[in-house]
């Protein structure tokens, strides 16, 4: 039961005031998902949207704790949405297209929510506030 609670409860944010450089890199960690979506045209959501946060996390995790925290948060959120989109795609294919009646509206709703939450996260990170997405599996710890 402990593992489940750890997966649901987000880790605490790093303490201290992040520097301007840390805040900027944390903002880039969130916005890099948007850039990935634009570059891939949204079709490769699973790769395009979490590659940027992954690279920023790998490069900055040892030197900037605030950036590492926010990059992990962006990475976990984008992985979660990639899993949801994959499930919706399988639902559509498995029902020979009938699932599209459910999946297409959900794609649109989730896409808008993803965009809004990503922009909010980037703004909060630039302000120096550790942002936690409302729904995200904590796969990367």
pLDDT in tens, 4-45: 455 556 555 566 789 999 999 999 999 999 998 888 876 656
Residue 109 has pLDDT above 80, yes or no: yes
Q: How many other CB atoms are found less than 10 A from the CB of residue 48?
A: 22
Q: What is the pLDDT of residue 135?
A: 84
Residue 138 has pLDDT above 60, yes or no: yes
Residue 59 has pLDDT above 70, yes or no: yes
Query: Which residue, 6, 5, 1, 14, is CA-closest to 141?
Result: 6
Compute the mean pLDDT over every residue in the chain, rounded to the nearest whole number. Answer: 87
Q: What is the pLDDT of residue 48?
A: 76
Question: Length of the chain, please?
Answer: 141
């Amino acid at each position: 039961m402990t593992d489940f609670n750890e997966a649901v409860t987000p880790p605490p944010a790093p303490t201290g005031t992040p520097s301007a450089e840390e805040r900027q890199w944390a903002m880039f960690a969130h916005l890099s998902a948007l850039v990935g979506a634009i570059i891939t045209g949204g079709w490769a959501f699973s790769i395009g949207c979490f590659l940027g946060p992954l690279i920023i996390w790998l490069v900055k995790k040892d030197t900037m704790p605030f950036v590492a925290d926010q990059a992990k948060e962006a990475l976990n959120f984008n992985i979660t949405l990639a899993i949801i989109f994959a499930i919706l795609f399988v639902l559509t294919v498995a029902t020979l297209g009938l699932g599209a009646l459910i999946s297409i509206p959900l794609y649109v709703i989730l896409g808008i929510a993803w965009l809004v939450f990503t922009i909010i996260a980037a703004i909060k990170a630039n302000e120096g506030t550790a942002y936690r997405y409302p729904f995200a599996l904590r796969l990367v710890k």
